[in-house]
Chains A and B, each alone.
Chain A
Amino acid sequence: MRLTVNAEAHDLAIQGHETLLMVLRDRLQLTGTKLGCARGECGACTVLVDGRGVYGCLTLAAGCEGQSITTIEGMASGESLHPLQHAFIEHDALQCGYCTPGQLMAAAALLSRQPAPSADDVRRGMSGNLCRCGTYPKIVRAVQAAGIAIRDRAAQGEVDASA
């Protein structure tokens, strides 16, 4: 089957039981996506499938044919970081960093649904991603700040386009 990950097509012989997480980590060596529980409890394996956040450990790879998968490795555009990545660094919304890729993916999914989330929206939208270091307060701030940055950039783009 053909799996499209970070805009790159991979032709793979995948067995029915293989999860998206296993394929990403063990076959494609995309180890940025983490394994925390393997049963949909922690969110460390969150990736985007057609822009929607899913748990990689509960998603069968075979079901992802024809869909566009984005992992943490595909979040930045070349050397240019995604506004969420910038915001996580700036607000120190990470400590050990193990849950961070999943948090960023979940945040990207949230911002695509809700471009201007309130703090409560972030808390609701991100509650499927555990962090044992306790970076939550800073994650709320970082996600809101990134939302503003993305909206500002879009507005700037409109201004530039109309100029």
Chain B
Amino acid sequence: MPPRKRTVGPTRGKLPGHDTEPGSAALPDAAAGESAGPTKRFASTKVEIEGREEIKIVELPDFEPAPWGQDEPLAIVGQRVARMDALEKVTGRARYTADLHRGAMLHAAFVRAPVPSGRVTQLDLEPALALPGVRGALVAADVPGVMHGGAPLFDPVIHWAGQPLAALCADTPELARRACAVVVLEVQASPHAVTVQAALAPGAPAVRPSGNIPKGQPRIAQRGDVEAARAGAHVVVTLDVRTPCALHSAMEPHGAAAEWMGEDLSVWESTQGIFQVRKDVARSFKLPLNRVRVMKDYMGGGFGAKNYAGAHTYAAVALARKLGRPVRCILDRDGEQTDAGNRAATVQQVTLAARGDGTLVSIEADTTIAHGYSGWFASPAKIYHELYACPNVRTRETFVFLNTGAMDSFRAPGHVEGAFGLERAMDVLARRLGMDPLELRRHNSATRDQDKGRPYSAKHLDQCYSEGAARFGWTHRRVEAAASRTHGGRLRRGVGMSSQIWGAGGGPPAYATVRVNPDGTIDVLTGTQDLGTGSRTIFAQIAAESLGARLADVRTVLGDTERTPYAGNSWGSITTASVGPAVRVAALQARARLMEAAAELLAVDAGRLTANESIVRVDDDERTMTFAQIGKKLGDVMIIGQGSRGANPPDTAIAAFAAQFAEVEVDTETGHVRVLQITSAHDSGRIVNPTLAESQLEGGIIMGLGYALFEERVLDAQLGLPLNPTLHDYKIPTIADVPAIDAFFVRSADTVANHIGARGIAEAPIIPTAPAIANAVSDALGVEVGEIPLTPWRVLAAIDGSR
């Protein structure tokens, strides 16, 4: 049989009837694939995820619809529809992983390392196993080859405090924890390094056998000639910056439940990536992928820490197999705050050089990152290369291995840290030049991705500057804050701002299936996750729009590796831009089939049909059929549409942009910083649901406020132990800390990035918040602060240092 002919690349362009109105007939399926052209089914494309660009192989879709334009007459996409799972959430019916009850289920908890470095010399589980209701235990020998946090799971060699050493399993979670407490554990502690200073000192203990600095580091990235540029500059400023180790602190800790049915394993996990967890579990236990099912319905936040399977997953799976009963393992709060990822602390030295008119001529940053025992090298340097136009940039990054828990992605990993250094230094430069900080940033606006020499798919940062400044009242607030300081009172006001860039284009692979049921209801199936972001709602909106269906009839099914086709992790602000186009194509394909069926039933040409609000109409007569009526006539014939995400546009950078403005009031006697107002203007392309998107912006800003003012994991340098692994001592913002927030999007639809016109949102809002607040504090005090969080004692020290 000869191979079927395919077109090269996506058939980008008109859908039959699509250009007239969204509800008109379409036939994107096989017919499009039969058009002339050379055969090419797979291609490679670039996808940026959390600052890392990856080459992905993409199976080119048979058809890609024309992009929705800026003025596309859309009825459902762009509307402020209520969150579709809100009812479940306000009634307590939403089931999270920890709410899951399986028959005869057991509970697991961990024995954890009490020192940051050393070796287990005795681990006697007998006293624990002797307790009534304790059913079993797990040690290293039970889980050969399984890794957690960069080390073998239950490794008797201790690499960080809080490392799991064994798991106990009992009838209740409380009993499992009690069992852990009666285990006889003896360790031989050895010298540790939990600070960069300790790890880089001569004769420092080796955190890893290969050394405390990874091979190939410092990592240097440069363009141009910074020395020559700096030598010729009118103004050179240098700022030393420190950022803290921050903890994700999701309200729902990491957790999993596992159950075996013969050779088939089911895992329920609070995760940002069901397919990633499936891969991790299958690999760790040498299982075929088709025997592992991973499910996630509701989850209580992730923020980057829940992208992979972890000790809790593996313990649940291994204990369930060993004991022949379902096992659930939910981390307690201490475990969550010590062994579930963090944003690494950094030390940065930033040097900016400019001409007298403010034109940047060189940017240099030397950064040291307190990496922990393992993780990936999330780059604080990248934003130095991207945010502003500058021909000469050099960054140096040294990640230092420490005897502390592994870092993990945390909402814009690397960028948040780097943005603080760069944007704080930009304000120092503005003050030195006597320039308005906003003007300095506008003046150095980058028109293209300078490292790779690519244009942006779209960039409306200038619009963010203008609209943000206008809504914030940048000019008059600056004047008023300055005027308030001339009185020399105890309370001083200041204003500051910051910009932001974050790769947010998403990309393949991502798939969706849309089914029209015989009663006219519609299922959207896709293997992505809703972390609280609203993806359940926006995919229903996109499907309803594309299908001409009533939104109330559409249900989105997510998070089940057996029910839903593949979609990637919910990370890197990729979900809307990755999965959205796949949902649209699947819905268009389903609509095309539905229209053909309706055409047959109505004995008309399909081209004469339109669909809107789940009603199919014939163009020039009165006849109509509802989706339900069509379904009833069709009986059990299934209308199914399949969609996938196509390639990204070649040689194009795709990013989210924002400008954020802050006003603060500093109490110069107590050192307390009160944030009064934050205004944040964002360019993320088309916004599918402004209400949900604004909620996410506010959330990011509030998280950034915590990073700026309170959040800091504190370690005892002598003992190497975390001192604040609780929500009482690790301070996240409360409702009382939150200022007036005005977060909004500038009007934009990105017709280059993808055919729904959306870019990512999730991580953008946290990036500029800490520098905007610190810039405002510096404005208020007339002191260049370089260290966050701006706790009262740091603020007082800054005031004292300036006297």
Binding site for B on A (CB under 8 A): 22, 25-26, 29-39, 41-42, 44, 71-73, 75-76, 81, 85, 88-90, 92, 94-101, 104, 122-124, 126-140
Contact = CB atoms under 8 A, between A and B. Distances in A.
B99 A31 contact: yes
Interface stretch (B388-396, B547-555, B731-739): B731-739
Contact of A131 (B87, B251, B253): B251
B735 A122 contact: yes
The 10 residue pairs across chains A and B that have the minimum distance between CB atoms: A32-B92, A96-B532, A98-B300, A134-B699, A97-B89, A134-B702, A72-B92, A95-B532, A31-B99, A41-B727
Contacts of B85: 97
Contacts of B88: 97
A132 B332 contact: no
17 contacts: A25-B99, A34-B251, A34-B252, A41-B726, A89-B83, A89-B86, A92-B695, A94-B83, A96-B301, A97-B90, A97-B300, A98-B251, A127-B734, A130-B732, A131-B251, A135-B695, A140-B735
B300 A92 contact: no
B300 A96 contact: yes
B736 A124 contact: yes
Contacts of B101: 29, 31
Contacts of A98: 96, 250-252, 298-301, 532
A132 B250 contact: yes
B249 interface: yes
A130 to B, nearest CB: 6
Contacts of A88: 86, 90
A83 to B, nearest CB: 11
Interface string B678-716: 000000000000011001101111110000000000000
Interface in B319-343: 330, 332-333
Nearest to A128: B734
Contacts of B692: 92
Contacts of A33: 92
B91 interface: yes
A37 B333 contact: yes
B94 interface: yes
Interface string B68-88: 000000000000001101111
A133 B699 contact: yes
B298 A97 contact: yes
Given A94-B86, A134-B701, A123 B91 contact: no
A123 B735 contact: yes
A38 B703 contact: no
Given A85-B90, A98-B251, A39 B726 contact: yes
B91 A95 contact: no
Contacts of A90: 82
A36 B303 contact: no
Contacts of B619: none
Contacts of B726: 37, 39, 41
Given A22-B174, A39-B333, A76 B86 contact: no
Nearest to A40: B728
B487 interface: no
B727 A136 contact: no
B12 interface: no
B89 A94 contact: yes
A8 B534 CA distance: 35
A124 to B, nearest CB: 6
A91 to B, nearest CB: 9
Nearest to B98: A35
B471 interface: no
B698 A130 contact: no
Interface string B709-750: 000000000000000001110001111101001000000000
A4 to B, nearest CB: 18
B95 interface: yes
B579 interface: no
Max chain A C-beta neighbours (<10 A), residue from B90, B94, B691, B695? B90
A32 B727 contact: no
Contact of B91 (A22, A73, A122, A126): A73
A90 B81 CA distance: 9
Given A34-B251, A98-B96, 14 more contacts: A31-B96, A32-B92, A32-B93, A39-B728, A44-B251, A75-B91, A94-B86, A97-B298, A100-B89, A130-B251, A131-B251, A133-B695, A134-B699, A137-B738
A139 B733 CA distance: 14
Contacts of A135: 695, 698-699
Interface of B: 82-83, 85-96, 98-99, 101, 172, 174, 248-253, 298-301, 303, 330, 332-333, 531-534, 691-692, 695-696, 698-703, 726-728, 732-736, 738, 741
Contacts of B83: 89, 92, 94
Q: Which of B91, B93, B698, B735 has the most CB of A within 10 A?
A: B735
Contacts of A136: 698, 702, 733-735, 738
A101 B89 CA distance: 8
A34 B94 CA distance: 11
Given A36-B252, A36-B727, A39-B728, A132 B90 contact: no
A41 B532 contact: no
Contacts of B82: 89-90, 92
B251 A36 contact: yes
Contacts of A32: 91-93
Contacts of A31: 92, 95-96, 98-99, 101
A134 B298 CA distance: 17
A139 B741 CA distance: 13
B401 to A, nearest CB: 28
A26 B172 contact: yes
Contacts of A34: 96, 98, 251-252, 300
Nearest to B704: A134
A126 B532 contact: no
Instruction: Find the residue from A32, A122, A131, A137 having the highest chain B CB count within 10 A.
Output: A137
A81 B93 CA distance: 13
A123 B93 CA distance: 27
Contacts of A104: 90
A26 B728 CA distance: 25
Nearest to A87: B90
A137 B698 contact: yes
A138 B741 CA distance: 10
A15 to B, nearest CB: 10
Contacts of A72: 90-92
Nearest to A102: B251
Contacts of A25: 99
A105 to B, nearest CB: 10
A32 B249 CA distance: 20
A126 B699 CA distance: 17
A128 B734 CA distance: 8
